[in-house]
A and B are shown apart, each in its own frame.
Chain A
Amino acid sequence: MTTPALQTPALQTFGLRKSFGALVVANDIEFRLEPGARHALIGPNGAGKTTFINLITGRLTPSSGRILLGGEDITELSQAQRVKRGLGRTFQINTLFKGLSVLENVSLAVGEREGQAGNMFRLAGSNRAVIEEAYGLLQRLRIADDALLPVKELPYGKQRLVEIAIALGLKPSVLLLDEPAAGVPSAETSIILDIIEQLPGDIAVLIIEHDMDLVFRFARKITVLVQGGILVEGPPTEIARDARVREVYLGERHHV
């Protein structure tokens, strides 16, 4: 294995910028996600974290700058094309197929990845492998008991796991987790953290999260985003000690 500095980053942005008129929501972001990374993106509300994710995934078009996935420029590609190249994401607010069963939710993602999804002339169940793979994922995430329940009948915490299961069904090389524990009662947060910690090591994971316990337990590197720009970047211990981070992120009351 080569030294980290020589490795092609799993994901990289150069001067990524997005502005709505005079409002700059992403300010020339230079970002690097290493292969197999466990990287957290933190910052106060409105810092532009979700905007950053939406730029990377193609939901938003950048005003300027480039995005590289595994060394390949994906700036001009559609959302779907980026997904096909290994970019997976979850949503801060559950974005699921509510009327479909849990198993069908994940099967859709697996089928789409396998390129089976455009087929009109065979029954959807005729490719068992797709559904079996989806079911295997549910078992790994310990929601297999609810496989046949419509997603809308699931408690919110379990719906968060379906979010992750769908993303994993895409077998991504880069996984963007947008506040996976948002809206989950604190008693159940540990279940989600367990799942995230058990993610395959070859997936580069970027997590946005407000829950600092989760961030510091999970991340080996933290990027702090403030007002659309990167304030500071480094290992968790450094970030925890950084005076600027304390000021903007933790607020004035921490000044004694």
Chain B
Amino acid sequence: MFDWLPSSAKIPPVDRVVRSHYLRPVELVPWVLAVGAYFAFDSYLPLGSQILIMILFALSVDLVMGYAGIVTLGQAAFFGVGAYTAGIYAVHVTGEPLSGLVLGGLAAALVGFVSGLVILRTHGLTLLMLTLAVASLLQEAANKASFITGGADGLQGMSIDPILGLFRFDLFGKTAYLYCLVVLFLVWVFARLLVHSPFGQTLTGIRENVTRMHAIGSPVRRRLLTIYTIAAGLAGIAGALLAQTTQFVGLTVLTFERSGEIVIMLVFGGIGRLYGAFVGAAFYMIAQDQLAKIDPIFWNFWIGLLLVLIVMFARGGILGLLDQAWRMLRRRR
């Protein structure tokens, strides 16, 4: 796999493994693009914020699904808990955004931990159905508890204070975009460290062969519960960001469609690669925006067709395709 790389042929294997965890320059490309987009597409900033939030959400799915191999169709549960927590906090307590953000993340992590205690005892289809069930239960609970959530009408009357008392949320979405960008960057720093840490390596081990992980003395269930809780918290932060930047929370934050859509985004980008979330969410959101303009009635059809093509011919998603192209180029030289 590495043999044909003449430049690094002399580096001993131990160093190769050590260095494989170092930060590569290409990993900074998303940030250059995101900052560039702020200046280049200033009329698209609200869409930009949505994309950043979806990247964060997709990142949380990648941690559980791509790394730990827990197949979930219920990640919207945590997104929704984060959104409602931040929303209700803003309506009833204070409009201060940072504490609302943290609270949204913590509430979602708590729900993730408790549901994970049950869900992670199961495997395969049962586990998948349970993730779905948790999200459905919460959606129905939010619907019934309309006195606090606003029910089907959505939660209204939020007003968010300036960030740190300095940066007011403006009509053009500039503050919102930068707010989302900074939060996403911090989460990325954490997630990047996490997946390249010894803990992250053991998650990959669990995904690759859980039987062997037991046999080398790994506390598998504790590891899975840890990452499930962390990812739930990150999804909650994404939900809280959505609530704060749009100043509205509707029942759609908890729907099955949202859980499914985020998985589709991740599949588009490439699962288990950390950056698949970035590429997939950006690609999906922009494609959706453009296709809806070109073909307002059938845009969903085109998204579906793209998904079929990706799943059939590019299992590694867009990043997988880039990888292959890159390798072919190197080989030809």
Q: Is A150 an interface residue (CB 8 A)?
A: yes
Known: A96-B209, A116-B198, A118-B199. A150 touches B1 (CB 8 A): yes
Partner of B208, one of A97, A107, A148: A97
Q: Is A99 an interface residue (CB 8 A)?
A: yes
Q: Is A31 an interface residue (CB 8 A)?
A: no
Q: Is A197 an interface residue (CB 8 A)?
A: no
Partner of A123, one of B13, B197, B208, B219: B197
Known: A123-B196, A125-B21. A148 touches B201 (CB 8 A): no
Question: Which residues does chain A contribute within 8 Å of B213, judged by CB atoms?
Answer: 108
Q: Is B7 an interface residue (CB 8 A)?
A: no
Q: Is A144 an interface residue (CB 8 A)?
A: yes
Tell me, in angstroms, the Cα distance from A127 to B197 when the chains sit together. Answer: 10
Q: Are A122 and B197 in contact (CB under 8 A)?
A: yes
Q: Which of B173-206 contact A (CB under 8 A)?
A: 193-194, 196-202, 204-205
Q: Which of A120-172 contact B (CB under 8 A)?
A: 120-128, 131-132, 135, 144, 147-150, 153, 166, 169-170
Q: Which of B198-237 contact A (CB under 8 A)?
A: 198-202, 204-205, 208-209, 211-220, 223
Tell me, in angstroms, the Cα distance from A81 to B1 when the chains sit together. Answer: 36
Least distance between B270 CB and chain A CB atoms (Å): 14
Known: A83-B217, A153-B1, A166-B212. A120 touches B197 (CB 8 A): yes
Q: Are B208 and A100 in contact (CB under 8 A)?
A: yes
Least distance between A127 CB and chain B CB atoms (Å): 7
Known: A123-B22, A125-B20. A148 touches B2 (CB 8 A): yes
Q: Are B13 and A103 in contact (CB under 8 A)?
A: yes
Q: Is B93 an interface residue (CB 8 A)?
A: no
Known: A112-B216, A125-B20, A135-B14. A120 touches B200 (CB 8 A): yes
Number of residue pairs spanning A and B whose beta carbons lie under 8 angstroms apart? 131
Which of B14, B18, B211, B216 is most buried by chain A, counting CB atoms within 10 A of its CB? B216
Q: Are A108 and B200 in contact (CB under 8 A)?
A: no
Main secondary structure of the interface of B (DSSP, over half): helix
Tell me, in angstroms, the Cα distance from A113 to B220 when the chains sit together. Answer: 14
Least distance between A121 CB and chain B CB atoms (Å): 6
Chain A: number of interface residues, binned into ranges: 35 or more
Contact with B along A158-197 (1 / 0, CB 8 A): 0000000010011000000000000000000000000000
Q: Is A109 an interface residue (CB 8 A)?
A: yes
Q: Is B10 an interface residue (CB 8 A)?
A: no
Least distance between A131 CB and chain B CB atoms (Å): 5
Known: A103-B17, A120-B193. A170 touches B212 (CB 8 A): no
Q: Are A107 and B202 in contact (CB under 8 A)?
A: no
Q: Are B1 and A117 in contact (CB under 8 A)?
A: no
Tell me, in angstroms, the Cα distance from A125 to B13 when the chains sit together. Answer: 12
Which of B13, B196, B197 is most buried by chain A, counting CB atoms within 10 A of its CB? B13
Q: Is A95 an interface residue (CB 8 A)?
A: yes
Q: Is B168 an interface residue (CB 8 A)?
A: no
Contact with B along A63-99 (1 / 0, CB 8 A): 0000000000000000111111000010100011111
Q: Are B223 and A101 in contact (CB under 8 A)?
A: no
Q: Is A57 an interface residue (CB 8 A)?
A: yes
Q: Are B1 and A119 in contact (CB under 8 A)?
A: no
Nearest A residue to B201 via CB reads A124
Nearest B residue to A81 via CB reads B217
Nearest A residue to B2 via CB reads A148
Least distance between B303 CB and chain A CB atoms (Å): 29
Q: Are B198 and A127 in contact (CB under 8 A)?
A: yes
Known: A95-B209, A124-B197, A125-B21. A144 touches B13 (CB 8 A): yes
Residues of B within 8 A of A (CB): 1-2, 13-14, 16-22, 193-194, 196-202, 204-205, 208-209, 211-220, 223
The 5 lowest CB-CB distance pairs between A and B, nearest first, are A83-B217, A125-B18, A97-B208, A147-B13, A120-B199
What would 11 more interface pairs be, CB under 8 Å, given A124-B196, A127-B198? A95-B215, A96-B208, A96-B209, A104-B17, A112-B216, A118-B219, A120-B200, A123-B197, A126-B21, A148-B16, A169-B216
13 residue pairs of the A-B complex, CB under 8 angstroms, read A79-B217, A80-B214, A95-B212, A104-B201, A112-B202, A113-B216, A117-B198, A120-B199, A123-B22, A123-B197, A126-B21, A131-B18, A149-B1
